[in-house]
Amino acid sequence: MCDEGYFALARAIILQAVKDFKPAYLRLKRRPDDKAAAARVKEITEFFCGEYFCLLSDTDGPRLLRKIMEQIDEEQEHEKK
């Protein structure tokens, strides 16, 4: 596989994880006892903090996830106003 294809695939995988994280995270914030949402958030958190993410990107996965969470929280605050 050429490098360009590899990087495009890696970006697509990470982007999909971000897209999957947001609804699960929001659902868990609204319903802290939702086991399915908790499991999904845990699964995606483990992805961002794991070896597979490190293979896909040189980005600091845990830091990126924190920024994503902060952004989601800020969006929610703006929607409440």
- The predicted-structure confidence for 42-54, as pLDDT tens digits, reads as follows 999 999 999 999 9
**What pLDDT score does 77 carry?**
85
Is the predicted pLDDT of residue 27 greater than 80, yes or no?
yes
pTM of this structure: 0.88
Q: Could you give the residue ranges of the DSSP H alpha helices within 1-81? A: 3-30, 35-48, 51-56, 61-80
* pLDDT at residue 81 in the model: 67
State the chain's mean pLDDT as an integer: 94
Mean pLDDT value across residues 28-34 = 96
Confidence (pLDDT) at 3: 87
